[in-house]
């Protein structure tokens, strides 16, 4: 009897022990490992197009190579800029884009994997500024209404009509778009030539591309808006889908081929200053009452062939750090 009771107690004890062991094992089951990302930039305040890198480590996994993504903050959320992969020690290094002005708030993110959680580094700021001292007030700017803009996450293509343009005008157009990119962060690409001329009285198809910009030299006979003292015209057409934001789809610039302007981007009333003015109209800026700014209604003898403080603030408000439109 004692033996039988003993066996019963032993069997009961064994069942309890097994159940307890199962519960303990469930609690100890491993989950995704937390990921820690560090990030340090090589410089925090630099002139435009200065080389800056961000480097750091990703820890928390078994040191297998991890994908990492450099992101910057926009009004619409975080936007990817660069991607890379860590080395065997979990280290990475990437170049920070510094080809447009602004206080760029950055972070590095390691996406989630099968064995490790995602992780993000503390934020870093890289301030990129022009290689000159912009003149005037940063408040001296205005934009068209409705407040449309180009999608800064898509490349804006432009075509040129240089049939009536002075020699070397293609380089001037490219240089002007380089300045617009530096002020906005919007990417532009030269897509070749065209016979279209904006602001004529012909059908829309003879004036504009389906998307993008046309830069053309024309006579006042072709473009009535160039008659009198007007040396150039610029603008774009905005569209809206439902309750979505207004966005520019196509537009252009017409330059008076008969206007007597100095070449280049030197001081005074130059073709370069005119291009900067009219392209900024096509990007979304209106005139300002400050004569120190490129967006003043008439060309000034004191112009330096570059955007000034108000121009830059206005273009920044239309650029990359406002976020994507799609």
| pLDDT over 70 percentage in the chain | 89
- Is 182 inside any structural domain? yes
pLDDT (tens digit per residue) in 191-207: 999 999 999 998 989 99
Q: Report the candidate in 121, 125, 107, 124 with the shortest Cα–Cα distance to residue 60.
A: 121
Q: State the pLDDT at residue 4.
A: 36
In a domain, 167, yes or no: yes
Question: From CA 285, how far away is CA 280, in angstroms rounded?
Answer: 6
Mean pLDDT for all residues in the chain:
90
Classified as helix, coil or strand, 160 is strand
Residues 161, 112, single domain; the answer is: no
At 31 the pLDDT is 61
Residue 138 belongs to a domain: no
User: Same structural domain for residues 184 and 293?
Assistant: yes
Instruction: Choose the weakest-confidence range: 40-44, 199-203, 248-252, 290-294.
Output: 199-203
pLDDT of residue 20: 40
What CATH number does the domain containing 78 carry?
2.60.40.10
The CATH number of whichever domain residue 245 belongs to comes to 3.40.390.10
**Per-residue model confidence as pLDDT tens digits over 276-286:** 999 999 999 99
pLDDT(308) > 90 = yes
In a domain, 30, yes or no: no
Give yes or no: residues 93 and 182 share one domain: no
Q: What are the pLDDT digits (tens) for 57-77?
A: 999 866 689 999 999 999 999
- Does one domain contain both 111 and 236? no
Q: Which residue, 94, 129, 164, sits at the end of a domain? A: 129
pLDDT band at 8 (very low <50, low <70, confident <90, very high): very low
Mean pLDDT of 13-33: 47
Are 286 and 146 contacting, i.e. CB atoms less than 8 angstroms apart?
no
pLDDT at 216 exceeding the cut of 80: yes
Burial code (b: 16+ CB inside 10 Å, e: under 16) for 46-57 equals bebebebebebb
Q: List the end-to-end C-alpha distance of the chain, in Å, as a whole number.
A: 82
Query: What share of the chain in percent tops pLDDT 90?
Result: 83
State how far the Cα of 102 lies from the Cα of 160, in Å rounded to an integer: 29
Judge if pTM exceeds 0.85. yes
Q: In terms of residue numbers, what domain contains 189? A: 156-322
The answer to the question of residue 199 being in a domain is yes
47 Cβ contact list (under 8 Å, min separation 6) = 128, 129, 130, 131
Which of 113, 129, 145 is a domain's end point? 129
Instruction: Please tell me the predicted confidence (pLDDT) of residue 64.
Output: 82
Give which of 46, 157, 59, 156 is closest to 95, Cα–Cα.
46
Assess whether 56 and 116 both reside in one domain: yes
Q: Is the dihedral of CA 80, 83, 86, 91 positive or negative?
A: negative
pLDDT confidence of residue 98: 98
Question: Domain count of the chain?
Answer: 2
Residues 199, 111 within the same domain:
no
| Among 195, 201, 202, CA closest to 224 | 201
**pLDDT per residue over 229-239, tens digit each?**
999 999 999 99
Residue 11 confidence (pLDDT) above 60: no
- pLDDT the model gives residue 29: 53
Q: Are residues 197 and 310 in the same domain?
A: yes
Residue 19 belongs to a domain: no
On whether both 105 and 242 belong to a single domain, the answer is no
Quick one: 202 and 293 in the same domain? yes
For 108-165, the pLDDT digits (tens) are: 999 998 888 999 999 999 999 999 999 999 999 999 998 999 999 999 999 999 999 9
The answer on 123 and 180 residing in a single domain is no
**Is residue 308 domain-shared with residue 194, that is, in the same domain?**
yes
What pLDDT is attached to residue 7? Answer: 35
Residues 194, 273 within the same domain: yes
Residues 74-87 have pLDDT tens digits of 999 999 999 999 99
Q: Is residue 135 part of a domain?
A: no
Confidence of residue 27 (pLDDT cuts 50, 70, 90): low
Answer yes or no: is 9 within a domain: no
């Amino acid at each position: 009897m004692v033996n039988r009771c003993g066996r019963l107690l032993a069997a009961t004890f064994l069942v309890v022990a097994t159940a307890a062991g199962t519960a303990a094992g469930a609690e100890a089951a491993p989950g995704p490992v937390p990921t820690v990302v560090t990030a340090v930039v090589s410089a925090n305040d630099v002139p435009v197009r200065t080389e800056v890198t961000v480097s750091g480590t990703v820890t928390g996994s078994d040191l297998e190579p991890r994908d990492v993504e450099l992101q910057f903050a926009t009004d619409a959320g975080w936007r990817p800029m660069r991607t890379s992969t860590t080395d065997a020690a979990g280290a990475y290094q990437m170049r920070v884009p510094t080809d447009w002005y602004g206080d760029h708030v950055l972070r590095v993110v390691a996406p989630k994997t099968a064995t490790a959680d995602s992780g993000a580094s503390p934020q870093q700021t890289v301030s990129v500024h022009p290689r000159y001292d912009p003149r005037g007030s940063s408040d001296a700017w205005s934009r068209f209404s409705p407040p449309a803009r180009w999608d800064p996450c898509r490349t804006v293509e432009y075509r040129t009509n240089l049939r009536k343009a002075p020699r070397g005008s293609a380089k001037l157009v490219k240089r002007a778009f380089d300045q617009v990119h530096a002020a906005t962060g919007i990417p532009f690409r030269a897509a070749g030539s065209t016979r279209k001329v904006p602001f004529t009285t012909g059908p829309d198809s003879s004036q504009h591309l389906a998307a993008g910009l046309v830069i053309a030299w024309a006579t006042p006979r072709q473009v009535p808006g160039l008659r009198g003292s007007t040396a150039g015209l610029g603008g774009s057409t905005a569209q809206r889908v439902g309750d979505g934001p207004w966005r520019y789809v196509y537009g252009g610039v017409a330059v008076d081929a008969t206007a007597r302007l100095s070449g280049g981007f030197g001081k005074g009333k130059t073709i370069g200053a005119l291009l900067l003015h009219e392209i900024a109209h096509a990007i979304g800026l209106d005139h300002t009452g400050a004569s120190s700014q490129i967006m003043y209604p008439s060309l000034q003898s004191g112009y330096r062939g570059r955007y000034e403080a108000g121009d830059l603030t206005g273009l920044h408000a239309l650029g990359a750090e406002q976020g994507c439109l799609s």
